[in-house]
Amino acid sequence: MSAAARLFLERSYQSVGIDEICAAADARKGSFYYHFSSKGELAKAVVDRHAVTFAARLAEFADDDPVHRLRAIPDMIGAIQSEFESQFGRAVGCPFGNLAAELSTTDDTLRAHIAQFFAVMEEGLALLCRQAAERGALREGVDPDHLAHHLLAQYQGVTLLAKLNNVHVAGISAALHDFFSVYLTESPSAP
Amino acid sequence: MSAAARLFLERSYQSVGIDEICAAADARKGSFYYHFSSKGELAKAVVDRHAVTFAARLAEFADDDPVHRLRAIPDMIGAIQSEFESQFGRAVGCPFGNLAAELSTTDDTLRAHIAQFFAVMEEGLALLCRQAAERGALREGVDPDHLAHHLLAQYQGVTLLAKLNNVHVAGISAALHDFFSVYLTESPSAP
């Protein structure tokens, strides 16, 4: 799984074969098929592995104040991207977004699996945005559910553009902070 | 080129071979290599073809007022996505973004080619945003260059999420309008 996660990020899903994954993991092909029925099943497990890392990162930023938690998201995404940049020596994009872009039209099981993870993430963001709205922290007229979708989309977009432009990922959290600030009222947290 | 553009959008770049493109185009392989030295060269030509369509769409929305032109961008993107949806029967994402996500780490020539097109697009958006700022149409504190980047990223993000969630593309222009509105002052165009 670790070898597959690395190779998928370094290149792409389609460009990496099972033989290569086995060689990188020093595993036999029989052993692979003992654990996974196909490369698609492996990819689902890789998505779950990234999802666990993602959830652990979110938990690190635990704070009772929903506005603080919202404001911490750009840095959290930036921290994840920095780790990838250190590992690969360049921006490699979002592991979920990469697979979504490559496989959504050809592997409906994997598409639905990633979509399910994103739905949970968006619902979590929407909950925070609604709590922030109740505290008067959202600019007037901003719909918290829409903001959750915008934030998820902006995260995907800026991460993809950093990968495309082959620039340092340090700009990702800055861009997300800037994007976010216009939706929030001035006070960091109005109780 | 037309067959390749279709197959890349329907599936992905890596999952389509030269043999299959030739078969879909009813062309011989010798004829393919007469025009293109590789699949990567063909992909560059496909990108250019999409870029021409994109520019033609932008020209349709020509208007002397930069604020009107900015406000027309969500509908323009929505119209392009609707055409793809009619052709393929589902959301297939952005042709530039799909290739960017799949190939940025493995084909630097193609990456740079798409990045160049995006740089031109972003500069065009930034020019409109600066003109809009001069007319007082941007909310106070909004940096026009940053807004151009946010808009490009948001377009990529919402298009990817529609493909991932396999939902109607009608939501794309609505989401972009909603995203955009918070950056603009109330009046549609303040001269």
- Which pTM value belongs to this model? 0.95
Each residue's pLDDT tens digit, B69-121: 999 999 999 999 999 999 999 999 999 999 999 999 999 999 999 999 999 99
Task: Give me the mean pLDDT over the B139-159 stretch.
Answer: 97
Question: Which residues in chain A have Cβ-Cβ distances shorter than 8 Å to B101?
Answer: 93, 97-98, 101-102, 160, 163
Among candidates B103, B100, B109, which has minimal Cα distance to B155? Answer: B100
Give the pLDDT of residue A76: 93
Within chain A, which residues score under 70 in pLDDT?
187-191
Q: Which long-range CB contacts under 8 A does B37-41 form with residues at least 24 apart?
A: B39/B13, B40/B107, B40/B109, B40/B110
Q: Do residues B1 and B49 touch, judged by C-beta distance below 8 A?
A: yes
Judged by a CB distance cut-off of 8 A, whether residue A139 touches chain B is yes
Give the pLDDT of residue B190: 42
Give the pLDDT of residue A57: 86
Work out how many CB contacts closer than 8 A connect A with B: 154
B187 pLDDT tier (thresholds 50, 70, 90)? low
Task: Give me the mean pLDDT over the B38-65 stretch.
Answer: 90
Asked if the Cβ–Cβ distance from A163 to B115 is below 8 Å, we say: no
- Express as a percent the part of chain B with pLDDT over 70: 97
Question: Which residues in chain B have Cβ-Cβ distances shorter than 8 Å to A9?
Answer: 105
Cα gap B126→B118, rounded to integer Å: 12
Q: Which of A27-41, A72-86, B54-68, B140-154 has the lowest mean pLDDT?
A: B54-68
Each residue's pLDDT tens digit, B108-135: 999 999 999 999 999 999 999 999 999 9
